[in-house]
Amino acid sequence: MEKLIITPKTKVHELLQVYPELEETLIELAPVFKKLKNPVLRRTIARVTTLQQAAQVGEIPVHKLVNTLRQKVGQDTLEGIETVAGGDTKRPSWFNPEKIVKQLDARPVIEQGGHPLGDVLTDIRDLNPGDIYELITPFLPAPLIERVVDQGFDAWSKKETEDRIRTYFVKK
């Protein structure tokens, strides 16, 4: 069987299927990955999350995450991996709390193994330009943010506590 080549596009679920021993390395790199021990989250969130997105969630440079994992399994270091910031911490000019028209606290859904993407895509469908949607999650929902931005929205996330991230979407 051919082993998985680890890149920023590798899904966390695939990585842990082929290299289960890397779970501890992920947790050492970013304690937020302890959530991977929850089998429900592992089956749901980990299936859609790439290592590049996981690096954002863990607030570590993607090149450090990918190359540490590659080194652990005997793969050569990758050069020139694009580092993507874990989200703009500066409040964007479009953000105004009075423009929040819908909100979803997705923490209970995620803790039960669900994924809020369908609810979010339904909720944002009827927003007018300038309207803001607020999403509360226990970690940075990088794959979800990517999907919503692809639908024509701007996004901004702010971390309030270790397990409460508020992400705001505005229709352009």
In a domain, 113, yes or no: yes
Please write the tens of the pLDDT for every residue from 22-52: 999 998 998 888 888 888 777 777 888 889 8
User: Are residues 102 and 167 located together in one domain of the fold?
Assistant: yes
Q: Check residue 58 and give its pLDDT.
A: 85
User: Are residues 64 and 105 located together in one domain of the fold?
Assistant: no
User: Are residues 164 and 106 located together in one domain of the fold?
Assistant: yes
For residue 136, what pLDDT band results from cuts at 50, 70 and 90? very high
- pLDDT at residue 79 tops 80: no
Query: Who has greater pLDDT, 94 or 161?
Result: 94
User: Are residues 50 and 107 located together in one domain of the fold?
Assistant: no
Q: Which contacts (CB < 8 Å, 24+ apart) does range 111-120 have?
A: 111/138, 112/40, 113/40, 113/41, 113/43, 113/44, 114/44, 115/44, 115/45, 115/48, 115/144, 116/141, 116/144, 117/143, 117/144, 117/147, 120/144, 120/148, 120/169
User: Are residues 61 and 125 located together in one domain of the fold?
Assistant: no
Q: What is the mean pLDDT of residues 42-68?
A: 86
b/e 92-127 (16+ beta carbons within 10 angstroms → b): eeeeeeeeeeeebebbeebeeeebbeeebeebbeeb
Which CATH number goes with the domain that contains 108?
3.40.50.150
User: Are residues 158 and 106 located together in one domain of the fold?
Assistant: yes
Phi, psi of 28 (to 5 degrees): -65, -40
In a domain, 83, yes or no: no
In a domain, 82, yes or no: no
In a domain, 6, yes or no: no
In a domain, 156, yes or no: yes
Query: Could you list the residue range(s) of the whole structural domain that residue 167 is in?
Result: 97-171
**Rounded-to-integer distance, Cα 37 and Cα 33, Å:** 8
Please write the tens of the pLDDT for every residue from 89-107: 578 899 999 999 999 999 9
* Contact call for residues 46 and 34 (beta carbons, < 8 A): no
- Domain tally, the chain: 2
Q: Which two tokens stand for residue 60?
A: 């570590």
